[in-house]
């Protein structure tokens, strides 16, 4: 009988785990070991993954993966007897110790994903690193230095990892850092709500022989549930000092720092050199290999030989390659092979599984003597109640789509009010500066170049903040992890991993951190495939363009059009995933093994802080790339000044102004003008000024560029100004808006303020077969939006793809294929639409 055979609410005892390679390694590390009780919680929509409760946590597996786990039916109340706690204590001579005479301490923060590690780091360093309630948020190494009690302490925040087995990119980073850097102390952050599962990493750190201090984080959750843990006894049993902390409240931080100094100064009595007892036969093999490795102790620079011996039995490629550089290792290799063969024949079971079982037996034995669970798990119960609605097997997908629809509609509709206020402020600033500055190049540079460019983009800040606020809520509550659970079945159809959906949703905020978040995917194929389609996720930089064009062309349905653009982006991503699945990435798929964190009430202070930090990045662009781009666009459009015009616009405008002054001063008859009122004269003056500006721009450097690319973009329904805006958007998509703000300027004589949207709405062709027709028709506007959605990402995204993929050829590929796809899609939209 397999785990897939039992229904929701039923429990069973794990008898054996089949499968091989990455799946078996990961699933045993997450607690699916012989003798553990596992309970079915619920199924995802569309017969997707199944959520299981094991070791006080929840993990989701696909059904075909659940079939690889043999079970025995057990009553829910049945208790599995813990393995007797039989560690091996050694003297401290083999334990790496801090340099007591040095006043510098190097600390590494290591822990499971979503254990609150980065929250602790932020509290310790007063930093603002990104945190969220799902795994894979920390995607690189963060470092901070500060002073405490006369010591210079360097804290390094490493990515979350379930083990040191190098199953994923994050685990490789952690393992390499600990092996190569060898910090003085490792602070192992453990979730107090699930110590049994999280302490698996602790046992590996013990094997590694590093100085460990356990930060028992989210300790308030443990007390809230009524659990009891004898911290001092547990610390003495495993030889590791334990400090309870509540990272999000900053509690226990100074106790942790004091304990670090105490350990570094070798004044901590709790520390003992503990060995996990792997049983007689395994210990015999470990000891034999360890003795053979003695000759490499100098080459390994003090690293623990026992750790290497265990890794050799686990067939760890990294350790093998590290020692294979030495000729002497060829004498050791046969011994390793002999011991592995002996154990395989003796136990008829995978050695990695034997070692994992022994580690969990060590943990269970220690907790049996020190840990007492409360009568009910309130936090989990609360999460289950919420999940009954949000991840319902029939309505979960619909609810998720409604949340997305509400997010994008709120971004436009609610953001419209503060957007109008900022727009009015920008107009007020422009009018007042225009009155103060004398006519000339400086006046035009400040008003048309700087304010026209930057002001056209900054008005969309409220919309950006609203979008980031809602995404931060999804991240901090834990709902973001559920999106992968809900969507795995759908994503699987299109060749994507369920976890890919998290970076894709993050892409709605910014594509750069979304591409970095692909590190949470264990399979390189899945990482590359996800990177290739993330650019189709409408990032916040595209949002100002959507709002501008949709508001100008579809004023009554702008919110729906914007939502449609996001949906089209998702559809293009899944279609391209199917194409890539059958062409570039034909490899076996990775298993879906994902932890679902409990829901947590989002701290409004942190949500607002995250929102503002992301909004600050948008503001920094105003004074950086957008300002520079606006200045360049203005200069290209302003020079050369000697452009041959079709008419003497200066003379014509002067005559009309003189007529208007006479009309206003003496009336129509005295002025001798054949007009009904002054309004028509004003409109004629404005038309002449607009025509002069258009001809001046057409003959400028930017006009030359625009007309050069016009044959390529004309079939898409674009004029040269739209083409230039798209070219400028390569640096950052917001520059599309700032470029339009510079190009679509009107005369300074304009008395009534006209928004950029109104200018686009009224823009007409001034020459050619389309002369007099509107430029931004609904069809041309929609074609333009499609192009903005699909065409090449900004420079930052291109650089990130190259860095994360390990090859710049993938960056070049993204540039080429997204641009071609954008042109082809816009061509089809405009040409087919023109037939109707």
266: left (phi over 0), alpha (psi -120 to 50) or beta: left
Tokens of 761: 């709405």
Query: Residue 236, preceding bond cis, omega within 30 degrees?
Result: no
> Which of the given ranges, 76-80, 204-208, 589-593, has the highest pLDDT on average?
204-208
Q: Residue 84 — very low, low, confident or very high, per pLDDT cuts 50/70/90?
A: low
Categorize the per-residue pLDDT at 831 as very low, low, confident or very high, splitting at 50, 70 and 90.
very high
Q: How many residues does the chain have?
A: 836
User: pTM to 2 decimals?
Assistant: 0.74
Range in 118-122, 125-129, 221-225, 756-760 the model is least confident about: 125-129
Two structure tokens written together for 536: 């189709």
pLDDT band at 99 (very low <50, low <70, confident <90, very high): very low
Q: Could you report the per-residue pLDDT of 526-581, keeping only the tens digit for each?
A: 888 889 999 999 888 898 899 999 999 998 888 889 889 989 998 898 889 888 88
Task: Please report which confidence band the pLDDT of residue 717 belongs to, taking 50, 70 and 90 as the band edges.
Answer: very high
Q: Provide mean pLDDT across the span 219-242.
A: 88
Residue 578 pLDDT: 86
At residue 167 the predicted structure's pLDDT band, cuts being 50, 70 and 90, is: low
pLDDT band at 95 (very low <50, low <70, confident <90, very high): very low
Cα–Cα distance for residue pair 39/80, rounded to 1 Å: 14
Round to whole Å and give the CA distance between 161 and 711. 53
Question: What pLDDT is stored for residue 98 in this prediction?
Answer: 47
Query: What is the predicted pLDDT for the residue at 101?
Result: 54
Overall average pLDDT of the 26-33 stretch: 83
pLDDT tens, position by position, 805-826: 888 899 999 999 999 999 999 9
Q: Are 3 and 67 in contact (CB under 8 A)?
A: yes
Place of tokens 């699933």: 27
Residue range 663-678: average pLDDT? 55
Q: Is the model's pLDDT at 718 over the cut of 50?
A: yes
pLDDT at 240: 92
Confidence at residue 555, expressed as pLDDT on a 0 to 100 scale: 87
Range 687-715 average pLDDT? 82
Strands (E), 184-319: 185-191, 212-217, 228-229, 242-244, 273-275
| Phi, psi (degrees; rounded to nearest 5) at 243 | -125, 115
> Angle CA(684)–CA(685)–CA(690) in degrees, nearest 5?
95
- Give 271-314 pLDDT, tens digit per residue: 888 888 888 899 999 999 989 888 877 777 667 888 889 988 98
Contact 275, 88 (CB under 8 A): yes
Q: For residue 98, give the 3-state DSSP assignment.
A: coil
Q: Supply the pLDDT for residue 80.
A: 42
Q: What is the residue-averaged pLDDT of the chain?
A: 82
Tokens 């002999």 belong to residue: 338
Kindly indicate the confidence band of residue 777, based on its pLDDT and cuts at 50, 70 and 90.
very high
Q: What is the pLDDT of residue 285?
A: 93
Q: What phi and psi, each to the nearest 5 degrees, are found at residue 521?
A: -85, 125
Asked if pLDDT for residue 656 goes beyond 90, the answer is: no
Strands (E), 74-128: 88-90, 104-111
Q: Which of 73-82, 317-326, 356-365, 647-656 has the highest mean pLDDT?
A: 356-365
HEC sequence for 438-451: CCCHHHHHHHHHHH
Instruction: Judge residue 689's burial from the number of C-beta atoms within 10 Å of its C-beta, 0-12 exposed, 13-18 middle, 19 or more buried.
Output: buried
3-state secondary structure of 227: coil
Q: How far is CA 786 from CA 55, 407, 464, 641, 835, in A?
A: 48, 20, 20, 35, 18
What pLDDT digit, counting tens, does each position of 108-149 carry? 999 988 888 888 888 877 766 555 544 555 556 888 888 888
Q: Which of 397, 389, 387, 382 is nearest to 48 (CA)?
A: 397
pLDDT of 667 reads: 56
């Amino acid at each position: 009988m397999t785990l897939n055979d039992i229904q929701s609410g039923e429990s069973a005892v794990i008898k054996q785990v089949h499968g091989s390679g990455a799946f078996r390694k990961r699933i045993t590390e997450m607690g699916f070991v012989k003798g553990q009780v596992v309970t079915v919680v619920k199924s995802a929509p569309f017969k997707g993954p199944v959520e299981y409760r094991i070791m006080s946590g929840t993990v989701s597996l696909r059904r075909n993966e659940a079939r690889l786990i043999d079970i025995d039916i057990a009553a829910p109340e049945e208790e599995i007897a813990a393995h007797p706690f039989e560690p091996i204590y050694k003297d401290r001579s083999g334990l790496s110790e801090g340099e007591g005479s040095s006043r510098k301490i190097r600390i590494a923060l290591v822990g499971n994903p979503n254990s609150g590690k980065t929250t602790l780091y932020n509290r310790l360093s007063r930093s603002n690193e990104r945190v969220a309630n799902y795994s894979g948020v920390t995607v690189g190494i963060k470092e901070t230095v500060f002073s405490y009690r006369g010591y210079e302490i360097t804290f390094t925040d490493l990515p979350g990892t379930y083990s040191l087995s190098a199953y994923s990119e994050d685990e490789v980073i952690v393992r390499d850092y600990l092996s190569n850097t060898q910090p003085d102390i490792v602070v192992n952050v453990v979730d107090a709500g699930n110590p049994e599962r999280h302490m698996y990493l602790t046992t590996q750190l013990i094997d590694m022989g590093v100085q460990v201090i356990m930060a028992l984080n989210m300790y308030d959750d443990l007390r809230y549930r009524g659990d009891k843990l004898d911290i001092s006894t547990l610390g003495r049993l495993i030889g590791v000092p334990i400090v309870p902390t509540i990272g999000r409240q900053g509690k226990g931080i100074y106790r942790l720092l004091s304990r670090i100094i105490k350990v570094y100064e070798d004044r901590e009595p709790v520390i003992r050199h503990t060995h996990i007892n792997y049983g007689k036969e395994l210990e015999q093999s470990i000891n034999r290999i360890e003795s053979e490795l003695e000759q490499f102790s100098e080459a390994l620079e003090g690293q623990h030989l026992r750790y290497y011996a265990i890794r050799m039995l686990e067939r760890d490629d990294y350790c093998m390659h590290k020692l294979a550089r030495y000729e002497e290792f060829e004498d050791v290799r046969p011994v390793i092979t002999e011991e592995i063969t002996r154990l395989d024949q003796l136990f008829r079971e995978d050695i990695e599984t034997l070692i994992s079982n022994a580690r969990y037996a060590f943990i269970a034995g220690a907790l049996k003597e020190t840990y007492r669970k409360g009568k009910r798990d309130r936090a989990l119960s609360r999460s289950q109640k919420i999940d009954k609605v949000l991840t319902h097997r029939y309505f979960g997908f619909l609810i998720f789509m409604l949340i997305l629809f509400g997010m994008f509609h709120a971004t436009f509709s609610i953001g419209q009010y503060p957007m109008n206020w900022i727009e009015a402020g920008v107009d007020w600033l422009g009018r007042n500066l225009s009155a103060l500055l004398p006519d000339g190049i400086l006046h035009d540079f400040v008003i048309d170049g700087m304010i026209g460019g930057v002001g056209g983009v900054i008005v969309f800040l409220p919309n950006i903040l609203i979008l980031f606020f809602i995404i931060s809520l999804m991240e901090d509550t834990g709902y973001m992890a559920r999106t992968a659970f809900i969507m795995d079945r759908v994503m699987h159809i299109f060749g994507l991993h369920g976890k890919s959906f998290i970076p894709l949703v993050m892409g709605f905020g910014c594509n750069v951190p979304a591409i970095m978040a692909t590190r949470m995917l264990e399979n390189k194929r899945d990482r590359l495939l996800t990177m290739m389609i993330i650019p189709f996720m409408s990032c916040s930089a595209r949002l100002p363009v959507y709002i501008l064009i949709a508001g100008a062309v579809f004023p009554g349905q702008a919110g729906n059009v914007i939502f449609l653009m996001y949906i089209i982006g998702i559809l293009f991503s899944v279609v391209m995933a199917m194409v890539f699945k059958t062409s570039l990435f034909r490899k076996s798929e990775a298993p879906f093994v994902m932890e679902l964190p409990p829901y947590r009430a989002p701290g409004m202070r942190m949500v607002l802080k995250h929102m503002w930090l992301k909004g600050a990045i948008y503001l920094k662009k105003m004074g950086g790339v957008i300002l520079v781009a606006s200045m360049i666009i203005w200069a290209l459009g302003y020079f050369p000044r000697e452009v041959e015009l079709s008419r003497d616009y200066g003379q014509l405008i002067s005559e009309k102004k003189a007529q208007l002054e006479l009309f206003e001063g003496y009336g129509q008859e005295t002025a001798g003008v054949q007009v009904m009122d002054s309004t028509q004269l004003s409109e004629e003056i404005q038309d002449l000024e607009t025509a002069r500006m258009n001809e001046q721009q057409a003959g400028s450097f930017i006009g030359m560029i625009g007309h050069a690319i016009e044959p390529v973009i004309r079939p898409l329904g674009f004029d040269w100004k739209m083409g230039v805006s798209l070219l400028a958007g390569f640096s950052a998509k917001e520059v599309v808006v700032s470029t339009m703000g510079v190009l679509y300027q009107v005369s300074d004589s304009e008395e009534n303020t006209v928004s950029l949207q109104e200018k686009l709405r009224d823009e007409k062709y001034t020459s050619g077969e389309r002369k007099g027709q509107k430029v931004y028709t609904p069809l041309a506007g929609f074609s333009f939006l499609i192009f903005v959605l699909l065409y090449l990402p900004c420079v930052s995204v291109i650089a990130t793809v190259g860095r994360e993929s390990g090859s710049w050829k993938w960056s070049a590929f993204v540039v080429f294929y997204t641009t071609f796809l954008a042109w082809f899609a816009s061509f089809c939209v405009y040409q087919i639409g023109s037939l109707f």
